[in-house]
Amino acid sequence: MKRAFAKSWGADYSAHGTRFRLWAPAHPHLTLRCDGVDHPMDRASDGWFTLTLHGVAAGTSYSFVLPDGQHVPDPAARAQTGDVHALSRLIDPQTFDWSPWSARPWEEAVILELHIGTFTPEGTFRAAIDKLPHLVRTGITAIELMPIAQFAGERGWGYDGVLPYAPHPAYGTPDDMKALINAAHRAGLMVLLDVVYNHFGPDGNYIASYAPDFFDPDRHTPWGNAIAYGRDPVRRFFIENALFWLDEYNLDGLRLDAIDHVLDPTQPDILTDIARAVRAHHPQAHLTTEDNRNITHLHPYDPDGLPQLYTAEWNDDFHNVAHVIATGEGEGYYRDFAEDPWPKFARALAEGFIWQGEHSLYADAPRGTPSAHQPPTAFIDFLQNHDQTGNRAFGERLLTLSSPAMVRALMTIHLLSPHIPLMFMGEEWGETRPFAFFTDFHGELADAVRKGRRREFAGFAAFEQKAERNTIPDPNAPGTFEASRIDWSRPDTDDGREWLTFTTDLLTLRQHRIVPHLKGAPGHCGHVLMADNGLIAVDWQLNGALLQLRANLSDTAAELPQTTGDCIHGQPGLQDPHQVALWLKVSA
């Protein structure tokens, strides 16, 4: 099967004539430079420039030339000839043959988040293919790629992308990325992609030079100029980008980054329009969001339990309270979770969000909306991810901050709750290598990023002094990136093998006993029976079964509420310290 998506922006190759299109309302004239030859483009009254050329071969380089002579890359290029400042490369998307694939249902999702550049020693799409059998054996059913849109330099997390339609060339070619997705599908794995629609990176974004109206001068995000989503060409750029990845790259879903900074007064807003367009063209796609507002209006479900817009949301509340319990940390945003964490932890398990409109000490404002009405699969829970690990000063993993017994207990709860579990690459074998914040900027921008990174931690007790802040790794140092690669030799050690067996056993239990009761699981299904001094008892009435969790995260043995049904994990009766047990009673 061949797959190609016809987009409004940029170049679309065809053997019958290649069309080039750019919205440049700031200029009366625009030229296409294709294979070194300049061609005047036709301007419409709305600022769109168009030109169709015949006989242009795939692989040809091209750019758009502004009236002052500046050449700019195609913002919707499928690939570049070099870095983000180079010429764009014409790609024929129909050179790749896709294998048949039927999407897996969302309730089966066990997600592994990974960064292509540090997932393998080679750091490429092709190298990642060789690791897929390990993920399948472990019980992973979906991989989520951190952003791969091309960004400045070779190294980075991907959240500073400036060419949202082009895979980052350090990871491989477009066909290399497609090969990874195709191989994952043949192995039975879903593939999700993290996309960034809230800003562009600080280096290599030329859009303002020909379309300043693409941005809103009255608003800014923490990472750059805010985007004017209400304008039709801008709207098309992002809606079509979502469709492009799902269609041309045969992806199973998208994770939209930091949508609390995607602000659009238009009705319906851009986030709703993206979801509606995806549902119309790819009704089986899984759309997930990251949003620290704890909102639910973008995640409605119909009476049959099907998502109408977005499928699920990253649940930072679960992570934050679990992290406080595991480490005792209470600075920064952990402040909201440090006081009386046990009822908060139980509420996250039973209802999703902890903060559902109460006053947040950290934000000094009400935060969140009621969430108990959501089905449990509307929440993606995690103990580690790129943000919560990499945004620490030294990128420490949880195992270096807490005891193995506590981490095992929390992982058991995490992987066997009815929420959708997400793990960070290497977590399955107890990875202890750090995942640091790294970039590949140069000159003044590199200095600004280095200083800004260290300044972020000035409010923490451990980094009050400048000398202490200067020990924080330089994001631009190649060694910071190299130290963040996961250790594929660890699963062969006694400790790594033990952790991997532990994870695999939990995920096998999840798929065989819990997943069959998640489809159609209703809202208001979770109930807290106990949450005090390390003792947690939560029941969920799922679809055709009652799942019961009893956990003792204290330092002494204790009695927990009675249970019924089969004990599917742990030991019934008296609960020893750092022990977790679950029961399942299937309806007759």
* Euclidean distance between CA atoms 383 and 344, whole angstroms: 15
Would you call the peptide bond into 212 cis, given omega within 30 degrees of 0 as the criterion? Answer: no
CA 9, CA 240: separation in Å to the nearest integer? 9
The closest of 355, 333, 334, 360 to 344, measured between CA atoms, is 355
Q: Which of the residues 248, 257, 428, 474 is marked catalytic? A: 257
Distance CA(567)–CA(431), nearest Å, equals 30
Q: Which one-letter DSSP state was computed for residue 428?
A: G
**Identity (one letter) of the amino acid at 176?**
D
Q: What letter does residue 100 receive in the DSSP assignment?
A: P
CA dihedral 132, 316, 402, 159 (to 10 degrees): 60
- Residue 243 three-state SS: helix
Clarify whether 213 is annotated catalytic. no
Cβ pair 340, 347 in contact under 8 A: no
Q: Where are the beta strands (DSSP E) in 209-351?
A: 215-221, 224-227, 253-256, 286-289, 312-314
Q: Is 290 a catalytic residue?
A: yes
Whether residue 434 contacts residue 394, with contact meaning beta carbons closer than 8 Å, is answered with: yes
Query: Could you give the residue ranges of the DSSP H alpha helices within 270-332?
Result: 270-281, 316-327
**Measured between alpha carbons, how far is 163 from 206 in angstroms, rounded to an integer?**
10
Distance CA 499, CA 482 (A): 24
Residue 35 and residue 262: Cα distance in Å, rounded?
37
> What is the C-alpha to C-alpha distance for residues 405 and 130, in angstroms, rounded to an integer?
32
Coil, strand or helix at 366: strand
In angstroms, rounded to a whole number, what is the distance separating the alpha carbons of residues 301 and 379?
Answer: 13
Q: How far is CA 430 from CA 380, 383, 407, 437, in A?
A: 20, 12, 9, 20
φ, ψ of residue 192 to 5 degrees: the values are -110, 150
The residue annotated as part of the active site, out of 290, 381, 387, 474, is: 290
The runs of H, that is alpha helices, within 483-546 are 494-509
381 membership: H or E segment, kind and range? strand 379-382
d(CA 317, CA 230): 31
Residues carrying an active site annotation = 257, 290
